[in-house]
Amino acid sequence: MKFINYIQALGMAVSLLMATAAALAAGPSYRLAVDGLACPFCAYGIEKKLSALAGVERLETNIEDGSVIVTMQDGAILDEAAAQQAVKAAGFSLRTFEQVAPGAPEGQ
């Protein structure tokens, strides 16, 4: 029984290390305020267009405040013009575009 607990603890430790390494390797993040982002269907449409941009690693959409956090791969940057074009292609308007500091709370 102790061996099984040891294996489970080891598995959790490895998972945490991998998650930490992935978070540290992530590139810059950007907060896009989007006009018209009101429902899950809207979120899907904008995520589809933004995820097609080169270098996008992760997207976090917040329907309540109408924002999308775009995290880029290490070494990649998000060009504001490309973001605006993707948002427009999804049928929305880009209100603001700002780079967010790593580890900053959303909206900072």
Long-range contacts of 48-56 (CB under 8 A, 24+ apart): 48/90, 49/86, 49/87, 49/89, 49/90, 50/83, 50/86, 50/87, 50/90, 52/86, 53/78, 53/82, 53/83, 53/86, 55/27
Q: pTM of the entire structure?
A: 0.72
User: pLDDT tens-digit profile of 71-95?
Assistant: 999 999 999 999 999 999 999 999 9
Choose between 28 and 3: higher pLDDT: 28
What domains lie within the chain, and their CATH numbers?
26-101 (3.30.70.100)
